[in-house]
Structure 1
């Protein structure tokens, strides 16, 4: 079984993958294909991905019975004593919409508690 997950990829690539795989959800494709077709599809994904990123999980022989391929993804596959793991980036990925630090009300409560205990 092969699973391909696309993020922010062009519509043309999504349409091309639906010729070979079933789209379960937006950007998630699953199917049983041969290794030859899988390798050609992955080459097409890399060519057509543009600014997007892709992740592919597929069956292989071995202890885990699966392997990963990634394209422009911030998580990377790492082999650790024969077991494939996904390494997260060491620096956190911040969202610009997320507030940073404490709110003003939380700061006031925090410092007010210190002043009253003195």
Structure 2
């Protein structure tokens, strides 16, 4: 059964953006939305995560969880997903301050 997904990207290579627009619409730069099967969703996410380079991406899709959705991330991000007994929460890493000379 097809379900809606949202993938948001930052600073990813152009070929990743092109691959995403084959299956999803891009209503805003770097944000992709669409309705695809679980198999297509998993294949898209595998391709995005493998080619992320210095960028970052997050995928949100419906799931049979208490929250009703699942979050996947790839790349270096300040926000990290933490799982507390099936409840996904976001933790912010503190910004690194440069050391004085």
TM-score (norm 2): 0.85
More strand by share: 2
Asked whether 1:21 is paired with 2:24, we answer: yes
Q: Unaligned regions of 5+ residues in structure 2, if any?
A: none
Q: Unaligned regions of 5+ residues in structure 1, if any?
A: 97-118
In the comparison of the two structures, how many residue pairs are matched? 94
Which gives a bigger RCO, structure 1 or 2 (Cα 8 Å, sep 6+)?
Answer: 2
Root-mean-square deviation (Å): 1.6
TM-score (norm 1): 0.73
For residues 25-104 of structure 1, the aligned pairs below 5 Å read 25-72=28-75, 73-89=77-93, 91-92=94-95
More helix by share: 1
